[in-house]
Amino acid sequence: MHGYTHAIAVDFEATCFKDQPVQELRDSEIIEFPAVLVNLKTGKVEAEFHTYVKPVERPQLSEYCTNLTGIRQRTVDAAVTVQTAINRFTDWLKMELKVRNLVLPKMSETNPKGNCILVTWTNWDFNICLVKECERKKMRKPSCFDQWMNAKAIYRNFYKFYPYNFDKALSRLRLTFRGRAHSGIADARNLATLLVRMYRDGAPLAVTTDLSPELQLNENGGF
Ligand SMILES: [Mg+2]
């Protein structure tokens, strides 16, 4: 039994350009940072974090990016830096975990698996987007981002179905995407809905990627 009672769905939106070479997708900057904390037992969203982020390497959003995400130039122009977004997120995370007695993987000596898990759809958000941006901008990446569950991998193994995209993953289970697709917060809310369904169906929720497998516990309590 996995022991997770809560999950935090994260879905970054990042700068993108029409007909971009795949290699360049590694150089994206985060422009929307949403997180949805859901109680897997009740199915209730208990807290949300959301901020837009100002890109600085390529500050001008492409028309393609705005059409895809619905994020406007003036929104990111008025937004915070990615460092501020990360700081605000970790402050939010610490507080929300504490008030619920939740621990992430590798946070607690007495419960190293944790009872709450960060979840993304594919590995792109934490394995590529965040890692590469932190490297380029010389930012320290909090270690809570080192362990997560790739929901797509668990989904594929558990339901024995390879979803072509997120929408197909939902529709296969007769769930309907709510809100605007590729709006980060809507993507994260719909991922939270899917996670509740997977939990109820008995899917084996687990960390699928650990970027610091040599450590028993994360340094600095995960932050
Ligand atoms: Mg998205």
Q: 103-147 pLDDT, tens per residue?
A: 999 999 999 999 999 999 999 999 999 999 999 999 999 999 999
- pLDDT for residue 13: 98
29-71: pLDDT as tens digits: 999 999 999 999 999 999 999 999 999 999 999 999 999 999 9
Is residue 1 over pLDDT 80?
Answer: no
Residue 55 CA to ligand 1 center (angstroms) comes to 17
Q: What is the pLDDT of residue 71?
A: 98
Q: Which of 2, 46, 50, 182 is catalytic?
A: 182
**Does residue 156 carry a pLDDT above 80?**
yes
Task: Respond yes or no: is residue 182 known to be catalytic.
Answer: yes
pLDDT in tens, 191-221: 999 999 999 999 999 999 999 999 999 988 8
**2 annotated active-site:** no
Could you tell me the distance, in angstroms and rounded to a whole number, from the CA of residue 79 to the centre of ligand 1?
A: 18
Between residues 178 and 220, the one the model is more confident about:
178
User: How far is ligand 1, taken at its centre, from the CA of residue 170, in Å?
Assistant: 14
Domain architecture of the chain: domains with CATH? 6-211 (3.30.420.10)
Q: How far is the CA of 59 from the centre of ligand 1 (A)?
A: 19
Interval 162-177: pLDDT, tens: 999 999 999 999 999 9
**Marked catalytic residue, from 6, 13, 32, 96:** 13
- Which is it for the CA torsion 189, 193, 194, 200, positive or negative? positive
CA of 218 to the centre of ligand 1 (A): 27
CA of 50 to the centre of ligand 1 (A): 13
pLDDT in tens, 89-114: 999 999 999 999 999 999 999 999 99
Q: Find the 13 Cα to ligand 1 centroid distance in Å.
A: 5
For the question of whether the overall pTM of this predicted structure is more than 0.95, the answer is: yes
